[in-house]
Structure 1
């Protein structure tokens, strides 16, 4: 399947963008809000042409810090019917996440990212996880919705046979996702998510100058996320490093965003998305909060709930 950047790429959680600027807009104005954020270096920088048709993070004022953005931006309000619409495609019914630490460079990493990510996904999906269940209100055409019956972590792989590319293309990232899917034996599994984590010092798909913090897409075989090394975001970046005071906050906020969107829209944008292409995470990129799981406490963003007509950390019960 063609996975060229113009036709397929998803720029979902991108730099901390215009939520402070647009977080209080009424629903009628929100529907027409820009679908791309300006990138990590300038609040007025244009979006890359390759992402023109796809939703990404909005643009915060350059003077707003990540912590200010996370605490002060109000959740967005939508129409009474909710902003997310079903487009007739697939969703993930029993999501399983596979972490691919790409490149021999990870052998020298001492920041604890591998353990941190494994701990987060070992807690998500358990009975203590009241955050992921927001996705359970978004079923497929057969009224079969995402369900969680235990930790969603399926495995972790250090693909360390050789160094990851210094500047991997989107096609190379997709090929690595396919290699990881083959390693885990999940090629073609609609419930699998591959997270391709690039090491320190690399620039996957032009990051951090391409106007995103991470994105998710579909290779034709498996859902996958391009997850750059968030600690490399330059000073002043709107990627949410230390948003709530934790060194690795950006990894949980950014990857949590991609995880939820990969559940509800694994083959963008055939699943659940707003009319402008924004997904369950795009609508709520602010008001970061600490989510307590049995494996630790993690900074996360709210998710859009049609049922609550709001951005929520924990949705109200059905009924």
Structure 2
């Protein structure tokens, strides 16, 4: 989520008696180009929190209130479109494309009890998200030219609009474009900016800025190689943005807590494997008003 293009918030999470500052690249450092100077992270981003792994349900930070509705849209029948941006993807050898395709071919199916956590969050019509089959609407490698080595927010939004035009979904309120940047690139200052990913709205389509998670430097705390899965950051981080894009596709007009945080922001810990028809994927819990806390199924 983004409240304004560069407004940022600081968040804290109490875990086993210790307080972790979410979004901080090692030792309280994450300012773009100046890793020694801490600053609050982008709202609605998956922040670079230190991972915690427990079998028990995740706990929200002390004092968190329920999320509440702010009058804007939610996605009723979410459809995800994967945009692999740049010719660099023609030679990616880490299996990211089939991994992401398998993830979204599994989400939305009858075996998916994770996405259904979002069903409790309707819009003003009283209708909320519903899932009747795989949410993947399509996958495209936009390889006419290389993705830029360093892209800005407006560049990422323009690529999302290009992908929406390619898929024919510009103006579709249920569409999500996931702009997958290739290895070796720095979208919106990543990884020095202190987020692992973020989502926003171009004016015609909801979209996510998804950096190449395996490029996160050692100690950056984006959740790579967790629960026995080398690509875990892609499912954990993109799952976070997918769920928030459902419940707040035009930030910040959907479902938020009093601090402006979304249902993924409140639960960035206690990652667990979720089994789908297409495989098993590490995921994070999501905030549930019904459950009064962070849950892994709904």
Residue in 1 that maps onto 2:278: 295
The 3 A distance-change label for structure 1 pair 296 and 11 is farther
Residue in 2 that maps onto 1:115: 98
Shift of 1:55: 4.5
Residue in 2 that maps onto 1:126: 109
Shift of 1:244: 1.1
Residue in 1 that maps onto 2:228: 245
Q: Please give the TM-score of this superposition, normalised by the length of structure 2.
A: 0.89
Query: Which of 276, 295, 312 is matched with 2:259 structurally?
Result: 276
Residue in 2 that maps onto 1:179: 162
Query: Which of 178, 203, 208 is matched with 1:220 structurally?
Result: 203
Q: Please give the TM-score of this superposition, normalised by the length of structure 1.
A: 0.84
- The alignment status of 1:205 with 2:202, answered yes or no, reads no
Query: Which of 4, 27, 30 is matched with 1:42 structurally?
Result: 27
Structure 1 Cα separation of the partners of residues 84 and 5 of structure 2 = 23
Confirm or deny: 8 A CA contact 1:197 1:227 kept in the other structure: yes
- The alignment status of 1:254 with 2:237, answered yes or no, reads yes
Q: List aligned pairs for 1:12-91, cutoff 5 A.
A: 19=13, 22-23=14-15, 37-38=23-24, 40-45=25-30, 51=42, 54-57=43-46, 60=49, 66=51, 69-71=52-54, 75-77=58-60, 83-91=66-74
Confirm or deny: 8 A CA contact 1:289 1:300 kept in the other structure: yes
Confirm or deny: 8 A CA contact 2:47 2:196 kept in the other structure: no
Q: From the two aligned structures, give the one with the greater helix fraction.
A: 1
Residue in 1 that maps onto 2:4: 7
Residue in 2 that maps onto 1:153: 136
Q: Which runs of 5+ in 2 are unaligned?
A: 31-36
Confirm or deny: 8 A CA contact 2:47 2:194 kept in the other structure: no
Confirm or deny: 8 A CA contact 1:303 1:313 kept in the other structure: yes
Q: From the two aligned structures, give the one with the greater strand fraction.
A: 2
Confirm or deny: 8 A CA contact 2:46 2:197 kept in the other structure: no
Confirm or deny: 8 A CA contact 1:178 1:187 kept in the other structure: yes
Structure 1 Cα separation of the partners of residues 290 and 212 of structure 2 = 34
Residue in 1 that maps onto 2:150: 167
Structure 2 Cα separation of the partners of residues 165 and 249 of structure 1 = 25
Offset from partner CA, 1:128-162 (integer Å, 9 cap, x none): 00000000000001101000000000000000000
Confirm or deny: 8 A CA contact 1:75 1:287 kept in the other structure: yes
Structure 2 Cα separation of the partners of residues 121 and 157 of structure 1 = 14
Confirm or deny: 8 A CA contact 1:283 1:303 kept in the other structure: yes
Offset from partner CA, 1:209-251 (integer Å, 9 cap, x none): 0010000000000000000000000011110001212110000
The 3 A distance-change label for structure 1 pair 73 and 202 is farther
Structure 1 Cα separation of the partners of residues 147 and 73 of structure 2 = 31
Confirm or deny: 8 A CA contact 1:98 1:194 kept in the other structure: yes
Structure 1 Cα separation of the partners of residues 62 and 26 of structure 2 = 33
- The alignment status of 1:143 with 2:126, answered yes or no, reads yes
Structure 2 Cα separation of the partners of residues 49 and 246 of structure 1 = 29
Confirm or deny: 8 A CA contact 1:74 1:286 kept in the other structure: no
Shift of 1:203: 0.4
Residue in 1 that maps onto 2:34: none
Q: Which runs of 5+ in 1 are unaligned?
A: none
Confirm or deny: 8 A CA contact 2:44 2:198 kept in the other structure: no
CA RMSD of aligned residues (A): 2.8
